[in-house]
Structure 1
Amino acid sequence: MPLFCCYRYLFWVQQGEDGGLYRLDLADLSDHGPINNPVHFRIVSGDQMTAFTVDYPNFRIFFPDETRNSLMSVYLDGKDLRDIRQNTQQQQVGSMQFVDVHSMALYDGILYWTNGRHVNFEEYDPIVNQYVHNEVFIDVPLMPPKNLEILFSDHSALLSWEPPDVDQGRGAWHDWLYEVEEVNHHTSPDGMTSNITGHSLQVMNLMPD
């Protein structure tokens, strides 16, 4: 459950029958928890709210709306609820970008969000007056894997390697897939093993020279 502390208020979302966006004044907290029932502080109702982010300079909260497949905005006190992405290109072609959002962030005026599998961001196109949603793709390395080692037996080989050198965190390469090509210089056709998720592979049924 995401939590934000903003201007001496605590904000959170929850799902279910009493789902929605909640606000709690930190002055109403005691050593034993909230003084009042948290349902009294629900500023937006919604049984499928999963994430939100705060626009601090403008005192507003952004959160996705699965029903509209759009982005909503509301003041910190729950007033002036708006659909602020009706002019989104992907929304018009039926893309479900705002479904099952796990986390959101607003940085330098650009909104980022993820469903745990893909990371998306938006850009504003002033020529057509539309927001365009794009996916952040996993980087493709320019360098080959390093420290390749091959241990041969009579009819098999055990290959192992390490990820290429990249000046990024582990999150940049932990979902990469590898492929290994087997080249036969005699009569048998070449072989290809694709979609390797680890850093090792055992190749069987090799023919000695």
Structure 2
Amino acid sequence: MAVSIKSQIKKLAKEFDLKYNPSWFRFIWVSSRENILIEFITGCPDPIYANYGKKPAERIRNMPRFIASIEFKKCLKRYGGQIVSKEGFDKRTIGKIQERATRKELLGVYSRARLGKYKRVALLTKAKNKKQLYFLLKDILRHEWIHILLSRNNISFQSLNKKHWAYDEGLVEFMASFLDKDLDNLEKHMANEKYPMERKYWEYAIKFRKMLKGKIMPKDRKRTISRFKATSITG
């Protein structure tokens, strides 16, 4: 299925006049615990994590308290994915983790990710059943690889300011819905989303749908997104 996802990413690149190289796209499986802890130390804006600090250094200091919390136990039930890069997930950051076993655990993920060779790698949580596996490979992997496609084309709103994460997520959801010919249902997806943070994904996808309405040519789509990033966000 990963091959099929790459073909979709290639199609998306063509539709938005983006550079594409199949060697950019890679993923590895991780445990739910590993995925949660990596999100935690790399600055994911999830409100649950933010309760333990906004910056990675603060969260690392509070990691023992987080791991002992009820919130952590609830988070372990999640399955999904994320992107790691050597800018955010590095040996120096991992080395600051107090608990030796956890430090060793995440160093193992770092080693498997091979971030010295790949700029960005998708992490997917190991599936517990066939339904989860299908969802992870069909939807989550594509979502994460769209992030890689955009970042490789210098389209990242978080690169301007971390607080702009919702624009990145919204653009990814817009593009995924574009591929699925599902742009008319963004409001429905937002209404069905229970988690406030992820509801923002759809809210911002709707913004991009409005922004790109009537843009038929790939170069026009790319130009519109690039201009918005350069002017509306920074202005």
State the TM-score, normalized to the length of structure 2: 0.27
Determine which structure has the larger strand proportion and give its number: 1
Q: Rg larger in 1 or in 2?
A: 1
Structure number with higher relative contact order (C-alpha < 8 Å, ≥ 6 residues apart): 2
State the TM-score, normalized to the length of structure 1: 0.30
